[in-house]
Structure 1
Amino acid sequence: MKSIIIGAGKVGFSIAQLLSSENQDVVVIEQDEERAKLIEETLDVQVIQGSGASWSILEMAGVKSAEMVVAVTEYDELNMIACLLAKQYGVKTTIARVRNPEYVETPHFSPESLLGIDLIINPERVTAEEIAKIVKNPEVLDVEYYADGKVQLVELVVPDKSPVINMQLRDLDTSKYVIVSIVRKHKMIVPSGNDVIKPGDHLYIMANTNDMAEVLKSLGIYRKKVEHLTILGAGRTGCYLAHILEREKIPVNIKIIEKNEKRAREVSARLKHSLVIHGDGSDLELLENENIEKSDLFVAVTDDDKINLLSCLIAKNLGAKKTIAKIKRADIMPLMEQIGIDIVLSPRILTAGAILKYIRKGNVVSVTVLGDERAELLEFFAQAGSVAVGKELKRIKFPSGSVVGAIVRNGQVIIPNGNSVIKPNDQLMVFSLPHSIHKVEKIFTSGGKNSLW
């Protein structure tokens, strides 16, 4: 499959890296000479310097034989024009990153059908949706649902006083859940029975949604509720977040702090149940006067990384129970987590993950990209005649870095163990590190030859 990636920033780089690692034919178009050289030296892809909105550059990149074009430059108009041109050449799948809501928020038509682009993705909306999930599940760092909501995957931090500290996995009662991965010191591993749980470990746990509260309790984590939410920044992300929570009627008191008085008034008029305050969110006195210590969750989503960092630290010091900071520079994310900010989100990384999730879909029901190492949680159906069907899991030679997290059969969730047998049409949730993804697909695909996507 031939793919053209327009824009070699963080998002474009991540997509090109994944596709090229699968030995796909990838062409990257980048306007900036220095960035183009960097991509050429780093990735095994063809790089063309120029504008992706130019028909001559697109033809040079081989658009006539391309199956997919992904336009993720910083310019909305360029991305849309590039995708519209690609459609004229007959490209099957086009994806554009578009930030300006005026282009995509139409009252009567979906933006995709209106513009003829297969997927239009807004980084601010993606970020707001991610934060909204955390508002609804504040005891964990991230949450995803599978099998029509029957199966849940959560990312959590093991607390210092957890009853499972220093225990080997083989000694835990994991009849109701599977630990599919442990992240320790920013390294992601698929654990074995000999692995020991340490304080501060990030665990990815999969369980029946109805059992998750009990599972978390056994790990020393108790369900919480966000009653008071403070949002710093009434920009697109903050406004989207408040809209989502209002639309879904989440019972939470929302307070938004915005430095720009005009913007504060505009957002206040658009929101029905949120309090918008004009003020500087990095001002200690203001935060004290607004009783930030009562905030169950403090979310800093301004366009200034430094302000987001500083305000989260102040809020945490004043007593806010949990903090989330939006950060543009992904390279400083580990540092911010080390100094006490609970969750750090990068719109670029979230956007790349959302695009990768879309382009991976085919016969796969869903794909979730996890962590900095781009591990994947694949949801698909076991095919009759595949290597795995009819065998106990302990009899299947799984590639390193992969594990079955859950099985859904006839609408019933099965938390697997070594004796579990895979049957035709079982709906499977399989975690895999990048190097094992294609080996996993061969195990569950009829003949082991046809790609799942």
Structure 2
Amino acid sequence: MKIIIAGAGEVGYHLAKLFSYEAHDIMLIDVDEERLAYADKNLDIQTIEGDATSPQLLMQANAPYVDLVIAVTSNQSININVCIFAKQLGAKRTIARVRSQELISKKLKINLKEIGIDEVISPEYLAADEIKLLLNQSGFTDTFEFDEGALKMIGVTLRSKASFIGKTVQEAAEVYPGLHFIPIAIQRHGTQYTIIPRGDTAFKRGDLVYFVTDDEGVEELYNLTGAEKRIIKNVMILGGSNIGKMLAKELSECKYNVKLIEKNERKAFEIADDIPDVLVINEDGRNVSLLEDENISKMDAFISVTGNSETNIMSSLVAKTKKVKKTIALVENMDYFQLSHNMGINTFVNKKLIAANDIFRFIRKGNLMAMTKLNNMNAELLEFQVKKNSKICNRKIVDIDFPRTSVVGGVIRDGKGEIALGDFVIKEDDRLVICCLPKSIKRVEKLFS
């Protein structure tokens, strides 16, 4: 695909990096010469220095002939204008990064597609949404929902209490028949190698295992993996960033008891005025004595979403020493993901990765409905819709030539999730959730094309 990315900041650079790995034709535009020089040096892409809202510059970037334009600068107005102009020039599809919740809301009366914007994304909104989901499934390290929860992806580290440690996938299935979940990826403790489990793959203590499950399977996973089910009621948020403010508002509306700490006086008072049900404290949250004075040890969850990754990590570690059940830190450096479990922090959240996941589905082939990359794993979870002429339609799963480095996690039929085994017959309009390693993606895509 030919793709233009406007904005070489954190999100834009990360997207350019991911897309370039897949041999897409990328043009990166930014006004910052240093950012472009860094991208040009480290990535196999083309760059143009200048204002992406200039129709002349967009023509220079071949906007009339591109498949996708992604505007992800830090300025919402610039992103909207880039998409409008690019669409007018002939770009096939446009995506704009926005900050306003109003533009993301389904209640918006303006038809954005009519003015040239096909999709809007907000990394902050997506990150806040993921954190809310993590609080709802507080015993697990990672979660993702397909079709409003018809199927769920859940990540959990196997403790000594897990009843199927030492058993193979096949043995576990025989001992616990009729379960409502299936393992889709495993990372051995102390390694970075991703395993797509087969029947003879054994579960080991310390494994980070991802499962696909329906609602009934969530309870089963709590019981069988030894994960501790925690009730979250009292939440402390460090940082009045867009994510912090959005999260505080939504959690308070869901009847959580929320404390928010923000050191900037003006911002703290603005948040207090906007969200009267949230206790806002105008102090520096890096002060351990302050956290103790605000009863951090009585919190069920601590969420650090300041603009500084190191602050978020260190404050979460302090919370962990105070016996806080669930700690979540917003980080910008992808390398930190490999350290999260060793550090003792329950979950790291990276808005770049979340935004990239949301955008990636627009470049996948084969009627892709949703996708996510598994944290700290070299694997993707993809949801495809089956069309009448798809190669897999009206066939049993066991008879389909899926790559060995891929696995069917489940099927959504008529809005209901099912854990589908080998004799399950796939029908038109089914939605299949498939986990696969990068080398298998093109083969999997062809099955749905």
TM-score after normalising by structure 2 = 0.87
Shift in CA distance, 72/370, structure 1 to aligned 2, threshold 3 Å: same
| 1:141 matched residue in structure 2 | 141
- Give the equivalent residue in structure 2 for 1:70: 70
Q: 2:223 aligns with which of 217, 239, 258?
A: 217
Q: Which of 190, 195, 198 does residue 192 from structure 1 map onto?
A: 198
- Are the counterparts in 1 of residues 365 and 445 from structure 2 also a CA contact under 8 Å? no
Judging changes above 3 Å, is the alpha-carbon distance between structure 1 residues 22 and 336 closer, same or farther for their aligned structure 2 residues?
A: closer
Alignment of 1:278-289 (within 5 A): 278-289=282-293
- Letter of the 1:415 partner, please give it: I
How far did residue 402 of structure 1 move?
Answer: 1.0
Q: 1:33, CA displacement in angstroms?
A: 4.4
Q: Distance in 2 between matches of 1:31 and 1:372?
A: 32
Q: Deviations over 1:207-259 (max 9, x none)?
A: 22233212331222243220111111122111100112234xx2321111222
Separation of aligned partners in 1, 2:395 and 2:102? 54
The answer to whether the 8 Å contact 1:129/1:244 transfers is no
Within 5 Å, which residues of 2 pair with 1:22-37?
23-33=23-33, 35-37=35-37
For residues 373-393 of structure 1, the C-alpha deviation after alignment (integer angstroms, 9 at most, x for no partner) is 563322233344544344443
Cα deviation 1:295-322 (Å, max 9, x = unaligned)? 1110011112232122111111112112
- Summarize the alignment of residues 301-312 of structure 1 with structure 2, pairs less than 5 Å apart: 301-312=305-316
Percent pairwise identity: 35
Find the partner of 1:422 among 423, 426, 431: 426
- SS at 1:172 equivalent: helix
- For 1:437 and 1:251, how far apart are their aligned partners in 2? 42
The SS at the match of 1:365 is: strand
Q: Which residue number in structure 2 is paired with residue 94 of structure 1?
A: 94
Distance, in Å, in 2 between the alignment partners of 1:364 and 1:310 is 38
C-alpha separation in 1, matches of 2:411 and 2:108? 40
Question: Which one of the candidate residues 208, 213, 232 is aligned to 2:238?
Answer: 232
**Distance (Å, rounded) in 1 between the aligned partners of 2:304 and 2:365:** 33
Match of residue 54 from structure 2: 54
Structure-1 residue corresponding to 2:5: 5
Uncovered stretches (5+) of structure 2, i.e. residues with no partner: none
Answer whether contact 1:407 1:427 (CA < 8 A) is retained. yes
Shift of 1:423: 3.7
Partner of 2:138: helix, strand, or coil?
Answer: coil
Range with bigger deviation, 364-373 or 118-127:
364-373
Q: 1:118-157 maps to which residues of 2 (within 5 A)?
A: 118-157=118-157
Tell me the secondary structure at the aligned position of residue 420 of structure 1: coil
**Which residue identity lines up with residue 335 of structure 2 in the other structure?**
D
What residue in structure 2 maps to residue 344 of structure 1? 348
TM-score (norm 1): 0.87
Is residue 12–residue 352 contact of structure 1 (8 Å, CA) maintained in 2?
Answer: no
Matched residues in 1 for 2:112 and 2:395: separation? 43
* Cα distance change, pair 55–390 in 1 and its aligned pair in 2 (3 A): closer
Q: What per-residue deviation string (whole Å, max 9, x for no partner) do you get for residues 395-436 of structure 1?
A: 332213211111234555432223333344433221222221
Change (3 A) 1:120 1:166: same
Match for residue 244 of structure 1 among 243, 250, 263: 250
Asked whether the equivalents of residues 154 and 205 of structure 1 are also in contact (C-alpha less than 8 Å), the reply is yes
| Residue of structure 2 in register with 1:167 after alignment | 167
- What SS does structure 1 have at the residue aligned with 2:368? coil
Letter in 2 for 1:382: V
Gaps of 5+ in 1: none
Provide the C-alpha distance between the structure 1 equivalents of 2:218 and 2:248, rounded to a whole number of angstroms: 27
Find the aligned partners of 1:137 and 1:363 in 2 and give their Cα distance.
Answer: 29
The counterpart of 2:336, out of the listed 315, 332, 336, is: 332
Amino acid at match of 1:189: I
Number of aligned residue pairs: 443
Q: 1:401 aligns with which of 400, 405, 417?
A: 405
Q: Describe the shift of the 1:306–1:350 C-alpha distance in structure 2 as closer, same or farther (beyond 3 A).
A: same
Tell me the CA shift for residue 99 of structure 1. Answer: 3.8
Describe the shift of the 1:372–1:87 C-alpha distance in structure 2 as closer, same or farther (beyond 3 A).
farther
Q: 1:26 to 1:308 in 2, by over 3 A?
A: closer
Q: Find the aligned partners of 1:60 and 1:359 in 2 and give their Cα distance.
A: 23
Change (3 A) 1:222 1:93: same
Deviations 1:157-215 (A, max 9, x none): 22243222233222213642110111333332211222222333222111222332123
Pairwise CA distance, 1:271: 1.1
When residues 256 and 361 of structure 1 are mapped into structure 2, their CA distance, relative to the original with a 3 A threshold, is farther
Q: Which amino acid aligns with 2:61?
A: A
> Could you say if the C-alpha distance between residues 412 and 317 of structure 1 is closer, same or farther in structure 2, counting changes exceeding 3 Å?
closer
Structure 2 counterpart of 1:348, which letter?
K
SS at match of 2:404: coil
Residue pair 2:408, 2:433 contacting (<8 A) in 1 also: yes
CA distance in 2, matches of 1:340, 1:180: 24
Of residues 368, 375, 379, the one that matches 2:372 is 368
2:337 and 2:375 in contact (8 A); partners too: no
Q: Give secondary structure in 1 for the equivalent of 2:329.
A: strand
Compute the displacement of 1:64 (Å).
1.4
Name the aligned partner's letter for residue 54 of structure 2.
S
Q: 1:357 to 1:225 in 2, by over 3 A?
A: farther
| Cα distance change of structure 1 residues 294 and 68 upon mapping to structure 2, 3 Å threshold | same
